[in-house]
Amino acid sequence: MSFWILPLISILSINPDSTQISAYKFAATPIWRDEFDKDGLPDSEKWGYDVGSKYNGWGNHELQYYTDANLKNAYVADGILNITAIKEQHERLNYTSARLVSKDKGDFLYGRFVVRAKVPKGRGTWAAAWMLPTDWVYGNWPHSGEIDIMEHVGYDEDAIHVTVHTKDYNHTIGTQKGVMKRVEHATTAFHEYRIDWTPEYIRGFVDDVQIYDFPNEGKGSAVWPFDKRFHLLLNLAIGGDWGGAKGVDITAFPATMQVDYVRVYNLLNP
């Protein structure tokens, strides 16, 4: 989801020598998962909420207020998590939505992270499945890092972004390391978005096809802060520095990001 100012993207090519890096293996069975098989509010043993808005001093100048355990904005039905942005006035803002977080309920160091999701249509929407540090050991963003499993902004339909952010590699200084892939029917069908995170690399996949490779250069935390715990986030933002770069189509609401499952597999040989 990142703390965007401008949507600057440095496209990475897949490293042809990446297959020579240590052959890491992942467990066959998830160590943490949510199949969203119980209707109602998301499982409180697995998810909490980031609550508030730009007026609380965080975010990217987005237009929504993130609510807390509100069925209008986050609910499970028929095996699917629905995160819905609604055009309604709340706390000086004109939209409500939800941002689910696994912090203190699911925190991980390395692993395979899989999110099967369908992103919403609509100019002004900004859907994301991503990860942030739990303990911020190296300092505030971007010093402690960020991993974006999947991002999609509605004004560029079917363009899926995979990105990491660090002190030395981030968009605020024009050095961001990310990739964009056109994913046919991303807004009308579910696709599987995945990150493999090991001590030597972070790799991104869409429907089991690798599209992204970020190697550990061995230059310390400014480049690789990814040796500490991270947690998962699922959210649908409205507007903001990137999502709202071409305005907001008010006829697109309510808009819903849907998630079929989230699965985390342990790294077997860290």
Residue 242, domain member (yes or no): yes
The answer to whether 85 touches 255, Cβ cutoff 8 Å, is yes
Query: Can you list the positions of beta strands (E) in the chain?
Result: 32-34, 48-49, 64-66, 74-77, 80-90, 93-97, 99-101, 107-108, 111-118, 125-133, 146-153, 159-165, 177-182, 191-197, 201-206, 209-215, 230-238, 255-265
Count of alpha carbons within 13 angstroms of residue 122, beta-carbon side? 24
Residue 10, domain member (yes or no): no
Give the pLDDT of the chain (270 residues) as one tens digit per residue: 654 433 333 334 344 344 445 689 999 999 999 999 999 999 999 999 999 999 987 789 999 999 999 999 999 999 999 999 999 999 999 999 999 999 999 999 999 999 999 999 999 999 999 999 999 999 999 999 999 999 999 999 999 999 999 999 999 999 999 999 999 999 999 999 999 999 999 999 999 999 999 999 999 999 999 999 999 999 999 999 999 999 999 999 999 999 999 999 999 987
Question: CATH no. for residue 186?
Answer: 2.60.120.200
In the residue annotation, 146 being an active-site residue is answered as yes
In the residue annotation, 62 being an active-site residue is answered as no
**Residues 62, 88, 91, 146: which is the catalytic one?**
146
Residue 14, domain member (yes or no): no
Residue type, 265: Y
Specify the pTM: 0.92
Residue 72, domain member (yes or no): yes
Task: State the total domains in the chain.
Answer: 1
Say what the pLDDT of residue 58 is: 78
Residue 79, domain member (yes or no): yes
Residue 204, domain member (yes or no): yes
**Residues 35, 62, 88, 151: which is the catalytic one?**
151
Residue 7, domain member (yes or no): no
The answer to whether 250 touches 192, Cβ cutoff 8 Å, is no
Question: What is the chain's Cα-based Rg?
Answer: 17
Residue 270, domain member (yes or no): no
Question: Which domain does 224 fall in, by range?
Answer: 24-265
Task: State the chain's maximal CA–CA distance in angstroms.
Answer: 54
The answer to whether 208 touches 195, Cβ cutoff 8 Å, is no
Take residue 229 and report the two structure tokens written for it. Answer: 């715990």
How do 64-66 and 93-97 pair as beta strands? parallel
